[in-house]
Homo-oligomer: A and B are copies of this chain.
Amino acid sequence: MTALRVGIAGLGTVGGGVVKLLAEHADLHAARAGRGLRLAAASALEMPRALAPLLKNAVWHGDALDLAASPEVDVVVELIGGEEGIARKVVEKALQSGKSVVTANKALIAHHGNELAKAAEDNGASLLFEAAVAGGVPILKAMREGLAANRFVRVYGILNGTCNYILTEMEQTGRDFDEVLAEAQARGYAEANPSTDVDGFDAAHKLAILTAVAFGCPVNFSAVFVEGIRAVSALDIEFARELGYRIKLLGITGRGKAGIEQRVHPCMVWADTPIAQVSGVLNAVVAEGDFVGQTVFEGAGAGERPTASAVVGDLIDLARGRAAPPFAVPVSELVALPAQSMADRTGAYYVRLIVRDQPGVLADAAEVFAAAGVSIESVLQRGRDPKATVPLILTTHATTEAAMRRVRTALAGLAAVVEEPMLIRIESL
């Protein structure tokens, strides 16, 4: 059988990893794919020096759009990144040309996955993006195929390695967010502009993709509730430990009473659950199916080599002709499901108040909870200093987000409360 001719658009970290992986394991890939994977073309703003020897048999395109339409390419690997601009155009053009596409671009799929999946189907092409979620961990394949017999109930995970690294460091060193972020930036674990990671958008992109694959619905990124980790303080980490929890940024998707809920935010989870054990830059996804029960998938969520592993895994599937539909079922069979509002989230809450240490504060706070119909489970107070402010921690029994929004507003209005109240949702996983 003739080799699958691969064109790579974008030769940054991941693109370089793919080029190296294809060269290093050509025989292995040919055996597992049943045919060779041949690097036929490449495109980037500039050819990285180190890759030049590996690219000498590939056609070079200064313009990635030429590569996307080029007759010497069967499949286009898009590793440019970004939800709009050239990345989107390259993918659209490749699909319109009847070429299959492999991409690691979570933003692109989260925003335009529905149209792109449709374009792929209309043109008899495939669209695969295993690398877009949890890096090297083949979670999308596991959900589309290995667990395909199940109705999924809930899927959640640690989807952003930068946030998990920061939270792990905060926990292990007792330092505050800003300090740990600065160090992560210095070490290359966080971007100079960290917003995509620490404000939760990267995790939200991945969650929107997981949701579509799990529930067979169109991607609905705008329905994802997103809250990042900037407001998590060393104090919260310390109190979490005292209460038996760890704080993790989780993406959670599941079937709620009012529809599909999709949310990304800091969570308190019992310290002995599998997800709480996942430390540092690792990613992990827990997929709960009605027959299989709880399955856990863990590994490197980013980086040159793990991401290249996922991209080339997709290429091998394409070469074998076994690519599954992007969202597990054909586009025509995707069923739009109602989105459950964040206000309907039910569960327990951790509330951190910074208060002036004066008589009556606890009584006032307790009255706020009572008025909203929220029942308090525990109260922790640390330190006593009538001249200063002190943290006052409360945890609640199960209630709704709507009720807690009323509680937060009312608490913020108390005279003794000197900072915006911090809420962290407690998850039973």
Residues on B with beta carbons closer than 8 Å to the beta carbon of A300: 292-295
What are the residues of chain B within 8 A of A277 when measuring CB–CB? 274, 277
Chain A, residues 300-342, CB within 8 Å of chain B (1/0): the string is 1000011011111101110011101000111001000000000
A147 in the interface (beta carbon within 8 A): yes
Stretch at the interface among A21-29, A52-60, A365-373, A375-383: A21-29
Contact (Cβ within 8 A) B309 A150: yes
What mask results when residues 254 to 294 of chain A are scored 1 for a CB within 8 Å of chain B, else 0?
00000000000000000000100100000010000101111
Task: Say yes or no: is A177 at the interface (Cβ < 8 Å to chain B).
Answer: no
How close is A270's CB to chain B, nearest CB, in angstroms? 13
Q: Judging by beta carbons under 8 Å apart, are A299 and B309 in contact?
A: no
Interface pick from A71-79, A91-99, A137-145, A415-423: A137-145
Which of B17, B284, B292, B313 is within 8 Å of A146, CB to CB?
B313
Stoichiometry, copies per complex: 2
> How long is the Cα–Cα vector from A231 to B284 in the complex, in angstroms?
35
For chain A, the count of residues having a C-beta within 8 Å of the partner chain is: 57
How far, in whole Å, are A258 and B151 apart by their CA atoms in the complex?
A: 46
A384 interface contact, C-beta 8 A: no
B294 lies within 8 A of A296 (CB): no
Residues of B within 8 A of A388 (CB): none
Minimum Cβ distance to chain B for residue A420 (Å): 36
Contact assessment for B295 and A329 in the assembled complex, using a CB-CB cutoff below 8 Å: no
Task: Indicate if A10 sits at the interface (CB-CB under 8 A).
Answer: no
Question: Given A274-B298, A299-B296, A322-B324 in contact, is the A148-B316 Cβ separation under 8 Å?
Answer: yes
**A141 contacts B142, CB within 8 Å?**
yes
Q: B305 and A294: CB pair below 8 A? A: no
Complex Cα spacing A297 to B148, Å: 16
Shortest beta-carbon distance from A96 to chain B in Å: 24
Alpha-carbon distance A149/B293, docked complex (angstroms)? 29
Tell me the minimal C-beta distance from A216 to chain B in angstroms.
Answer: 7
Question: Contact: A142 with B144, CB < 8 Å?
Answer: no
Q: Are A21 and B142 in contact (CB under 8 A)?
A: no
**What mask results when residues 150 to 161 of chain A are scored 1 for a CB within 8 Å of chain B, else 0?**
110000000000
Query: Which residues of chain B are within 8 angstroms of A202 by Cβ–Cβ distance?
Result: none
Residues of B within 8 A of A328 (CB): 31-32
Contact with B along A55-73 (1 / 0, CB 8 A): 0000000000000000000
Task: Among B29, B291, B312, point to the contact of A308 (Cβ < 8 A).
Answer: B291
Interface centre among A149, A289, A294, A317, by most B CB within 10 Å?
A: A149
Q: In the A-B complex, list the 5 residue pairs whose CB atoms are closest, starting with the nearest.
A: A138-B146, A322-B322, A149-B312, A295-B299, A136-B292
